[in-house]
Structure 1
Amino acid sequence: MEYAALAARFGTPLYVYDLDRVDAARRDLIEALPPGTELYYAVKANPHPELVRALRTGAGQPCRVEISSTGELDVIRQAGYSGADVLYTGPGKTDAEISAALAAGVRTFSVESPGDLTAVGARAAALGITAHCLLRVNSASASASTSIRMTGTPSQFGFDSETLPEVLPGLRDVPGAELAGLHFYPLSNARDEDSLIAEFRHTIGLAADLSARLDLPLRLLDIGGGFAAPYAVPGHRPRYEKLRTELEHTLDRDLPGWRDGAPRIAFESGRHLVGDAGTLLTRVVNVKVSRGRKYVIADAGINTLGGMSGLGRLLPVAVEAEADGERERASLVGPLCTPGDILGRDIQLPTLDRDDLVTIPNVGAYGPTASLLMFLGRPAPTEVVVRGDEVLSVSRLVHTREQSDPA
């Protein structure tokens, strides 16, 4: 697909999502996992309904979905998923959203604390049904020393593994809730395959130990993700050549019934499945020099590509331009009235002028919905979904203010 033609047709800032790349990422990851295991798509990575639908349909094994809000619940229903396909997660589930999820047919929840389990059970019992609950575990130790750590420290996420024996008696007989297994998510965006394998081995061993030592039901074991993808820089998502064999050996040793579904084994992925499917097109609106430093001002800023709005996971981006020749050091900034609107500080950029088109690759995950969309009231970027040379959909997120009767 010709980016310049799309930018001329739909304007900028513009996200372009390629479903052929989504298909390829799903196929490659499923082939890298042990046969018979399940893969959940973390909808938070990109909740665009067309991408979510693509992960359900098409050739090969469909993904299930992991969600943590009623907004994501609406998205996955638009994409054709049923409640039976859902794992509902998150540390702060409200009564209203638990009820909405149950009413939509969701029956599997990851719970993070005794209070969370009690809340899910109470809403299920009120509806006369049973919620199947996975206990999310915050392991006291970890294997991988790199990547984004999601375990091993005090956290709002999960039951601390060392205190689980103390609280477990009070979790076994919560009305409306049935313990069904364990959920782990120890790291995100693993730096290399060996780190990923080591973390999964650690998780599987801990799950087997907890299940045996505490007599915990283990019908479903979700061992999380950590599958990597480049973000806003050139590069390719990794291929995992050893993962399948190494995990099969570990599962055979620690959980020998897994091949017969006892337990079912699940993984999660967000960025790896959709990251390389997305490209952001932005146009230069001004170039200036201030006290010897050059600033290239684009029509896309942190309201368009926010990198989860301040978590420090974005800088620096790497861009390409139509005339991508000689390069210079400059800062790529957005159009917002804040000094924090920086996409790349003092980075290598092509020599750019007003109206030049710039492309930022590998932004199919954590794009518009992870950005400061409402800041300054600027329109959200247009999002175009393509397959090959065909444009399948064109959309833009629109926010409206709902009025309530003060009485």
Structure 2
Amino acid sequence: MITPLHEEIATRHGTPAFVYDLDAVRRAHADLVAALPRPSTVYYSVKANPHPQIIALLHALGCEAEVSSTGEIDAALGAGVPPEAVLLTGPAKTPETVAHALSRGVTRFSVDSPDDLARVDDLAGRAGVEARCALRVNADEPVPGAGLSMTGTSSQFGADLSWVLAETPRFTGFGHARVTGLHLYMGTNLTDEKDLLAQFEVGIGIAEKLAVLFPDLAEIDLGGGFGLPYARAGERPRFTGLAAALEALLDDRLPAWRDGAPRVSFESGRYLVGDCGVLLSRVVDVKDSKGTRYVLLDTGVHHLGGMSGLRRIPSISADVLTGDENEDASTDAGKDEAEDERVTVAGPLCTPLDVLARGARLPNTGIGDLVSVPNAGAYGPTAGLLAFLGHPAPAEAVVDGGRLESASRLHVTRNPL
């Protein structure tokens, strides 16, 4: 839906523009907390949207921060998250990344192998601190229903469960980096409650088994994978039966969890911020080519979908909405085809791969019209190809309570070494 405030933002700050509504973030956080067992901790996965106001709000709501780079460390700390509430994750953490974290007071790490653990141990020893490490474990069985499976198959993420069981001593005995937790992220973009419960059940089973081998476990991070439509119209799912089912599983497998022994935690990025954002764009040109009508926008795959536009990950098919309809503009087959104008929506890049949607319905669209892409609060500019072809980054506006709070723009620069 294009609102008068969207019109005002587009006029004042230009397009393309991402608009993030903090009220929507609050609603998403409340829904997620209601879907999780109590007590439990939520990590905000900063990769989803590192805008400082979003990080700050989610921390104020009780979230800790999950980060995976020096830039995300600085973003979380700069937004007010204290170092003790930051967890550094990801494979191939370089010595420079680990050292940067330690220099900023971050001492919690997810580790993927004995060598990763040894690297953290060495650098923590040099810094004179103790690092608390969550061992990431790759399950020996795949998780059904995942949009992107991250366990149960050959993976760069984590240590295979069979490896940990067979060679447990390789993951213990470090003087400055102790395994005090497990990191059990299984998959992403799960929208079916049964699939979410199935993956968490696998994780809880692994935790029950490894708790015998790692008696000092203080935290079980069961990951996330809470799904949401991306760049398409649709409601954020509510997982109304998940909390009770998870509490029953935890009571059975890890009976001291209610007393925080261990603490149970979850991660979320897309679910918390995905539906807070819309991408506003202007129509720059409309033309016909060999039987196809094209609507050309001032945004494209460099802003939305990132590498998917270059076929490095599955391509997106965005819903593009007009101010007149404020409804799904690409898939509503209930309309009379005679009233429709089916078009291909493309962007400004010098590549035929810069297509946001084919067969979209944009009736009576003309040059200068404002259109929007819904559910675009996650994986926007920082997941895009901002340096490709050198187009300016889109504006990013934050609204709260129906008022514009801030507007800013990222810049890609080159600095001498």
Cα RMSD (Å): 1.5
How many angstroms does 1:77 deviate by?
Answer: 1.4
How many angstroms does 1:314 deviate by?
Answer: 4.9
Residue range with higher mean Cα deviation, 144-153 or 14-23 = 144-153
Report SS of the residue matched to 2:202. Answer: helix
CA distance in 1, matches of 2:107, 2:177: 10
CA distance in 2, matches of 1:29, 1:291: 48
The 5 Å alignment of 1:230-245 reads 230-245=229-244
- Give the total of aligned pairs: 400
CA distance in 1, matches of 2:364, 2:249: 52
How many angstroms does 1:388 deviate by?
Answer: 2.2
User: Which consecutive unaligned segments of at least 5 residues does structure 2 have?
Assistant: 330-338
Identity among equivalent pairs (%): 47
What's the counterpart of residue 363 of structure 2? 350
What's the counterpart of residue 18 of structure 1? 21
User: For 1:39-60, what per-residue CA distance to the aligned partner results, in whole angstroms no more than 9, with x for missing partners?
Assistant: 0000000001111111012xxx
User: For 1:214-241, what per-residue CA distance to the aligned partner results, in whole angstroms no more than 9, with x for missing partners?
Assistant: 3453211000001111111111111110
Question: Which amino acid is the alignment partner of residue 304 of structure 2?
Answer: L
Is the contact between residue 145 and residue 190 of structure 2 (CA under 8 Å) also seen in structure 1?
A: no
Question: Which amino acid is the alignment partner of residue 353 of structure 1?
Answer: G
The 5 Å alignment of 1:307-386 reads 307-309=306-308, 310-324=311-325, 326-386=339-399
What's the counterpart of residue 265 of structure 1? 264
CA distance in 1, matches of 2:267, 2:321: 31
Is the contact between residue 147 and residue 191 of structure 1 (CA under 8 Å) also seen in structure 2?
A: no
CA distance in 1, matches of 2:314, 2:33: 27
Aligned partner (choices 35, 47, 50) of residue 50 of structure 2: 47
Is the contact between residue 142 and residue 202 of structure 1 (CA under 8 Å) also seen in structure 2?
A: no
User: Residue 290 and residue 269 in structure 1: after superposition, are their counterparts in 2 closer, same or farther (change >3 A)?
Assistant: same
Question: Which amino acid is the alignment partner of residue 43 of structure 1?
Answer: V
What's the counterpart of residue 157 of structure 2? 157
User: Residue 10 and residue 215 in structure 1: after superposition, are their counterparts in 2 closer, same or farther (change >3 A)?
Assistant: closer
CA distance in 1, matches of 2:378, 2:371: 19
CA distance in 1, matches of 2:211, 2:293: 59
Report SS of the residue matched to 1:267. Answer: strand
What's the counterpart of residue 415 of structure 2? 402
How many angstroms does 1:348 deviate by?
Answer: 3.5
Matched, 1:72 2:72: yes
TM-score by length of 2: 0.93
What's the counterpart of residue 305 of structure 1? 304
What's the counterpart of residue 99 of structure 1? 99
How many angstroms does 1:285 deviate by?
Answer: 0.4
Report SS of the residue matched to 1:344. Answer: strand
Residue range with higher mean Cα deviation, 86-95 or 166-175 = 166-175
TM-score by length of 1: 0.95
The 5 Å alignment of 1:26-41 reads 26-41=29-44
User: For 1:72-110, what per-residue CA distance to the aligned partner results, in whole angstroms no more than 9, with x for missing partners?
Assistant: 111111210111001100101111111111121111100
CA distance in 2, matches of 1:180, 1:350: 58
User: For 1:169-189, what per-residue CA distance to the aligned partner results, in whole angstroms no more than 9, with x for missing partners?
Assistant: 122112321110110110101
The 5 Å alignment of 1:83-122 reads 83-122=83-122
Residue range with higher mean Cα deviation, 109-118 or 323-332 = 323-332
Is the contact between residue 327 and residue 351 of structure 1 (CA under 8 Å) also seen in structure 2?
A: no
Matched, 1:389 2:397: no
Residue range with higher mean Cα deviation, 374-383 or 348-357 = 348-357
Report SS of the residue matched to 2:162. Answer: coil
How many angstroms does 1:367 deviate by?
Answer: 0.7
Report SS of the residue matched to 1:50. Answer: helix
Is the contact between residue 320 and residue 350 of structure 1 (CA under 8 Å) also seen in structure 2?
A: no
What's the counterpart of residue 279 of structure 2? 280
Question: Which amino acid is the alignment partner of residue 65 of structure 2?
Answer: V
How many angstroms does 1:308 deviate by?
Answer: 4.6
